[in-house]
Amino acid sequence: MTSSNDVKWRKILYRRQPYPDNYSGGDEQFLSELKKNCKFSARFLCLETIPYSVGADRTLTDTISTDTIFALSFITALISCVFHDYGINAPIVSYQLSVSSGLSSAVFLLSRLDSNDVAFVMLSIAFALHAFTPFIR
């Protein structure tokens, strides 16, 4: 049998090679052909799946009375305003609580809209305003 220096390693499993089973071609070849997320597109995720889920979000609170929805929406919007980061160092500031309560306020109000298209636009605007405006300033 020939030595391992004479035989070049090939990436095949059906032929016996004079290299250990866990050999991967050395440092120059290791992960050189690795491709990650070739077919994945974030655009597909946002533009194709989220509009279909808005219908479920819109009908989530249909059975709850309108007065309760408006009260809950007002309370969560108030929580969002109280815990928002206005640039001061205070123990009450919480970015996560502010964004989640603002978005839940928008989700509460989605059930009072007539169509899924309008609900999607409102949810998109609410997400953009609550999630991205702190990074702009």
- Model confidence pLDDT, tens digit, residues 22-80: 777 776 666 777 777 777 777 777 677 777 778 787 787 778 898 999 999 999 999 98
Q: What is the CA radius of gyration of the chain?
A: 27
Does 122 map to a domain? yes
Does 94 map to a domain? yes
Hunting for tokens 């640039």 — which residue is that? Answer: 87
Does 75 map to a domain? yes
Does 23 map to a domain? no
Does 28 map to a domain? no
Does 105 map to a domain? yes
Torsion angle (degrees, nearest 10) of CA 120, 125, 128, 131: -90
What domain range includes position 131? 42-136
Does 110 map to a domain? yes
Angle at 16 between CA 11 and CA 19, to 5 degrees: 70
Instruction: Name the band, by pLDDT with cuts 50, 70 and 90, for residue 1.
Output: low
Does 70 map to a domain? yes
User: What is the Cα–Cα distance from 59 to 106, expressed in whole angstroms?
Assistant: 13
- The total number of structural domains that make up the chain: 1
Q: What is the pTM of this model?
A: 0.58
User: Contact, 117 vs 85, CB < 8 A?
Assistant: no
Q: Which two tokens stand for residue 133?
A: 């405006």
Hunting for tokens 């491709």 — which residue is that? Answer: 35
The 10s digit of each residue's pLDDT in 74-101 is 999 999 888 877 777 777 777 788 888 9
